[in-house]
A and B are shown apart, each in its own frame.
Chain A
């Protein structure tokens, strides 16, 4: 009987605090647990008793990387209660600020957090010695994403300009125009990114997943649409809780989200891509095909290509929006508060983000529910880890640990969102 323990105290390049435990006994993987030990953050409780108008700013504080996602899901849920339908240039500005968040978040993950895994470096600083131009490109992409968020949102981290009904103030056309040349550079850089990452070596795995994301009839999704999957799910956002549930798991402080009918599922860039490939502009589809992808991809390691594809899409979409933008007469729509329940799902960089609010007739929040993408992916991450461990048991411990960490980063997990350090504890017996 063999017995061995591998322990990595802090898995770097993920956001949050947690631990991974893999037990191997007699050359068999017997247990995989993604343990999140960060204390619950109680945001849903903080929201109770606050005015509905505060929700976008309070929930934005859940994450410094994807605050726009929290703002967008909250405003859509609350606008559903108020009967507000944000359209025209205000709706376009919401897509524009979301483009900025995708560019900065995906740029950070592709270049600084995930690429070092594929190229064999401990971190991007080490990688920069051999790939200085790539690292510079990644830094500049992130900066341009940040600038776009700041331009529409007032500042890049925890934007302050988003409100229920629209924005506190809207940019003039001439405010947006200086971004055009930067975004054209970013579009070229994104295409270069797709080509670069497509040359990486990808472990040949293709598990069967249920990919869940928004789908909109006319556009690659950010804020609106129905929740669909490659296995037949097709529901209104309002019906999320009828089909999905969160469950307590003894070893983690974060809730696990499952599809009631089929269990684990997958949200994020791969899910969006697989459910919405036909809605990508032809140039973006062509870039994907040039990178060796078809319209459906289920190798989680290739998520780095799809994240890069989404950077390219976000640049294209930003340029389209700025080109067509006309400053609206009013920066926001207004409505009197009324009692009700509203639901919103938007596509955070890491996947679908669900919010539900119940407010009273004074507009005071009585109840809030938030299901972030990392909670939704936890079961699937564990399943992937199990497969990766089984397939790579023959590897030396350092290499096995490496590929397990890489597999986790396929999901760009934001554990802070789900409740924060990931420890990897690999035990062989």
Chain B
């Protein structure tokens, strides 16, 4: 078994649902940086897959587009080890599948959260059909990427 990747970054979203692609674009931005010992994944956000995937790393950063009362493009950061994700920002969007909040809740009960699990949420504006980010959301992409890179640097110390 290969040693655990020090840091895993997971971008969650849907390519063709407007601002829901925001986290995927963060992931691609980071992949272009070609950071050593950082694995970047794009995922649909299914909880079962998340729970399995974040076993691969000691430190995991998850980025997801969210609905929220704040202005589009607002960036939230949560330390999932120390706090549950707020239900108003991460509501259940399906009666059948689970998302990030459920994965965190289940991971906490099953004691299988990675030692470091940081969740970034980017408030989206348009989740309708089609590609392309809303103008207020686009600047959040490089900013979240930079914040993640800084966190990774901090973790290396």
Contact = CB atoms under 8 A, between A and B. Distances in A.
A150 to B, nearest CB: 11
A361 to B, nearest CB: 34
Interface residues of B, number: 18
Contact of A139 (B44, B51, B105): B51
Contacts of B98: 112
Given A124-B106, A128-B109, A157-B44, A143 B49 contact: yes
A422 B49 contact: no
Contacts of B112: 136
A279 B92 CA distance: 41
B95 A10 contact: yes
B105 A125 contact: yes
A6 interface: no
Interface in A85-144: 108, 112-113, 124-125, 128-129, 132, 135-136, 139-140, 142-143
A114 to B, nearest CB: 12
A129 B48 contact: no
19 contacts: A13-B96, A15-B95, A15-B96, A16-B95, A16-B96, A125-B105, A125-B106, A128-B109, A128-B110, A129-B109, A132-B109, A135-B106, A135-B110, A139-B48, A143-B49, A143-B52, A146-B49, A421-B95, A422-B95
A59 B74 CA distance: 37
B24 to A, nearest CB: 15
Interface of A: 10-16, 64-65, 108, 112-113, 124-125, 128-129, 132, 135-136, 139-140, 142-143, 146, 156-157, 421-422
A414 B109 CA distance: 28
B95 A136 contact: no
A143 B96 contact: no
Given A124-B106, A128-B109, A139-B52, 14 more contacts: A10-B95, A12-B95, A15-B96, A64-B97, A65-B96, A112-B98, A113-B96, A128-B106, A132-B109, A132-B111, A135-B106, A136-B110, A140-B52, A143-B49
Contacts of A16: 95-96
Contact of B95 (A13, A124, A146): A13
Contact of A11 (B48, B51, B95, B111): B95
A135 B110 CA distance: 8
A140 B110 CA distance: 13
Contacts of B102: 125
Given A13-B95, A421-B95, A422-B95, A132 B48 contact: no
B105 to A, nearest CB: 5
Contacts of B110: 128, 132, 135-136
A214 B49 CA distance: 32
Nearest to A113: B96
Nearest to B101: A125
Most A C-beta atoms less than 10 A away, residue of B48, B49, B102, B111:
B48
A14 B95 contact: yes
Interface in B7-50: 44, 48-49
Contacts of B111: 132
Contacts of A140: 52
A223 to B, nearest CB: 25
B109 A125 contact: yes
Contacts of A65: 96
Contacts of A128: 106, 109-110
A65 B105 CA distance: 23
A65 B46 CA distance: 11
Contacts of B49: 143, 146, 156
Nearest to A108: B48
A14 B96 contact: yes
Interface string B85-112: 0000000101111100010011001111
Nearest to A413: B96
A156 B97 CA distance: 15
Interface in B106-123: 106, 109-112
Contacts of A13: 95-96
Nearest to B94: A15
A112 B94 CA distance: 13
Contact of B48 (A14, A64, A142): A142
